[in-house]
Amino acid sequence: MNKTILCIGAGYVGGPTMAVIADNCPDYKVIVVDINAERIAAWQSDTLPIYEPGLQEVVERARGRNLFFSTDIIAGIKEADIIFVSVNTPTKTFGEGAGKAANLQYWEKTARDIIEHAESDKIVIEKSTLPVRTAEAMHRILQSNTKGLNFDIISNPEFMAEGTAVDDLEKPGRVLIGAMEDESGQKALETVANIYRNWVPEEKIKKTNVWSSELTKLVSNAMLAQRISSVNSISALCEKTDANILEVSSAMGMDPRIGSKFLNASVGFGGSCFKKDILNLVYLCEFHGLPEVAAYWEQVVLMNDYQEERFVRNISNHMFNTVAGKKIAIFGFAFKADTGDTRESPAIHVSKLLLEERAVLAIHDPQALKYAKLDLADYEGDISYETDPYKAAEGAHAIAILTEWKEFRDLDFEKLYASMEKPAFIFDGRNLLDHQKVFEIGFNVYPLGQKALSHL
């Protein structure tokens, strides 16, 4: 074996990233550790802890050969030359910066574990998304060791998206590696680049200084989210003017300077990172005395809240100004298709607002019901969870589509319609369905940013 790689944090990023590294780099031993024993046991089993297309095959190819999952963090630290840190960095909920700044306690804990147990020099890699200049604090903590060891800090943020993680990791748009500009930092950068060179073309490996790399990750997410909020804001205007957001997005996207991707209007963006990373960017701007810049980016999150609230207001307005006591079938709870992840899913906020209006909810999702139950556990109201979409819709007044699962398109809408209360409504928060077709079946259809198709 060439070198041993350790990854601390076996979550949505640590697990898939290391599986793809191990698969492509048979000369490296890759160990993934976590404090969560249940998660590690799942990585060792046939039922992986996360649903991600293609991941099972990649894990099975490498597991036991050069990919290992373990809870023994100390042994991993002792053995590894290169340590990726991929622990969670949620929004701080307490003290200064609460609600915006990143909570770095898990990150700092791993740095302290590393100095306590390391017996040789290491390269420590920030895989988690971190505020710009975190590497400075981490470097200070690591260099405070009294064993005379050298630690190089590298920033190598992850750009994969859930649902397409394996593809994104196997064919990344870019691999960003930021390092300190001294000789030791540059040597560490090459060591990390050499891992990726096993399968990533040289021109996709982008080398920067460590601060640019940290900031690029935050800004990349902010720019992506900004596109969605921009398009969502225009979806509201389309509904007032009979312009069609699909036509506007696609015509606008034909300009190569704008580009056609990431212009789908939706009920709102979710996921564990967009909101957290933008708020972190906002906090950094405030901290550095840039209130105008902070306010600019904060608006992206406020627009997302507005879109979720507007969706619920539309439901209520079109259903004769009340949803109290009416059953609404929620189709899709995951924050996007092809994942079971519900973190910051718009479905949580939408469900909460509907429950406050005393609606009766029947929630169906092909992958995310387990997390949906946990997310709504503290909310009062009449909620049921259905693995069968037809049961969810039985006796319902409306279907609200909140995740763009392709299989929803293939449902038998005649059958759904027949079992529902009349008039029956569809609120398509993802513009997923063939609206004309379901309208002809009898539904009153309310797409996003398009003309409603109503029999009323």
Amino acid letter at 376? L
Backbone angles phi, psi at 83, to 5 degrees: -120, 115
| Token couple for 353 | 């607002």
Work out which of 36, 106, 159, 211 binds ligand UGA, going by CB under 6 A. Answer: 159
Binding mask 17-56 for ligand UGA (x = CB under 6 A): ----------------------------------------
Alpha-helical segments (H) within 125-244: 134-143, 165-170, 183-196, 210-241
Residue 158 CB, nearest approach to ligand UGA (Å):
6
Choices 36-44, 66-74, 198-206, 264-272; region in contact with ligand UGA by CB under 6 A: 264-272
Among 7, 25, 238, 273, the one annotated catalytic: 273
110 binding ligand UGA? (CB under 6 A): no
Does 304 sit near ligand UGA (CB under 6 A)?
A: no
Smallest distance, ligand UGA to C-beta of residue 168, A? 7
The 211-250 contact track toward ligand UGA, x by CB under 6 A, reads ----------x--x---x----------------------
Helix spans in 271-368 (H): 274-287, 291-318, 346-356
| Contact call for residues 44 and 83 (beta carbons, < 8 A) | no
Burial of 46 (0-12, 13-18, 19+ CB in 10 A): exposed
Binder to ligand UGA among 35, 75, 141, 161 (CB under 6 A)?
161
Q: Position 172: which residue type?
A: P
Note whether 318 binds ligand UGA by CB under 6 A: no
Residue 335, contacted partner among ligand UGA, ligand NAD, none, CB below 5-8 A by kind:
ligand UGA
SS3 content of the chain, % helix, strand, coil (to 5): 45, 15, 40
Which of 375, 428 has the CB closer to ligand NAD?
375
Q: Binding residues for ligand UGA, how many (CB under 6 A)?
A: 21
Alpha-carbon distance 78 to 89, whole Å?
24
Out of ligand NAD, ligand UGA, none, which partner does residue 35 contact, by CB within 5 to 8 A per kind? Answer: ligand NAD
> Which of 264, 304, 314, 444 is close enough to bind ligand UGA by CB under 6 A?
264
Tokens representing 389? 């979409």
Residue type, 298: E
Whole-number minimum distance, CB 171 to ligand NAD, in Å?
16
Task: Give the containing element (helix H, strand E) for 18.
Answer: helix 14-24
Binding mask 119-148 for ligand UGA (x = CB under 6 A): ----------x-------------------
Query: Which residue, 14 or 447, has its beta carbon nearer to ligand NAD?
Result: 14
Separation CA 247–CA 239 (nearest Å): 13
Output the smallest distance, CB 221 to ligand UGA, in A: 5
Alpha-carbon span 116 to 114, nearest angstrom: 5
How many CB atoms within 10 Å of residue 410? 8
Bridge partner residues of 363 (DSSP): 330, 385
Cβ–Cβ < 8 Å for 36, 10: yes
Cβ 175 to ligand UGA shortest distance, Å: 12
Between 89 and 342, name the residue whose CB sits nearer to ligand NAD: 89
Amino acid residing at 429: G
Measured over all CA atoms, what is the biggest interatomic distance in the chain, rounded to whole angstroms?
A: 77
Give min distance, CB of 187 to ligand NAD, in A. Answer: 25
Residue 367 contact among ligand NAD, ligand UGA, none, beta carbon within 5 to 8 Å by kind: none
Instruction: Assess 336 for contact with ligand UGA (CB under 6 A).
Output: yes
In 3D space, the residue among 284, 336, 332, 277 whose CA is nearest the CA of residue 301 turns out to be 277
Q: Is 306 in the site for ligand UGA (CB under 6 A)?
A: no
Q: Which of residues 173-202 bind ligand UGA (CB under 6 A)?
A: none
Our answer to whether residue 273 is catalytic in this structure is yes
Which residue from 356, 402, 347, 398 is spatially nearest to 381, judged by alpha carbons?
Answer: 356
Contact call for residue 312 and ligand UGA (CB under 6 A): no
350 near ligand UGA, judged by CB under 6 A? no
Q: Are 298 and 278 contacting, i.e. CB atoms less than 8 angstroms apart?
A: yes
The DSSP-derived string for 215-248 is: HHHHHHHHHHHHHHHHHHHHHHHHHHHT--HHHH
Instruction: Indicate the residue among 142 and 160 with the shorter CB distance to ligand UGA.
Output: 160
Q: Please tell me whether residue 393 binds ligand UGA under the rule CB under 6 A.
A: no
How many residues are there in the chain?
A: 456
What are the backbone dihedrals phi and psi of residue 357, each rounded to the nearest 5 degrees, phi first? -85, 10
- The least CB distance from residue 232 to ligand UGA, in Å, is 7
Range in contact with ligand UGA (rule: CB under 6 A) among 76-84, 158-166, 369-377, 389-397: 158-166
Return residues touching ligand NAD (CB under 6 A): 8-14, 33-36, 39, 73, 86-89, 106, 109-110, 128-129, 158, 160, 162, 272-273
With beta carbons less than 8 A apart as the criterion, state whether 200 and 174 touch: no
What are the residues binding ligand UGA (CB under 6 A)?
129, 158-162, 221, 224, 228, 262-264, 266, 269-274, 335-336
Active site residues: 273
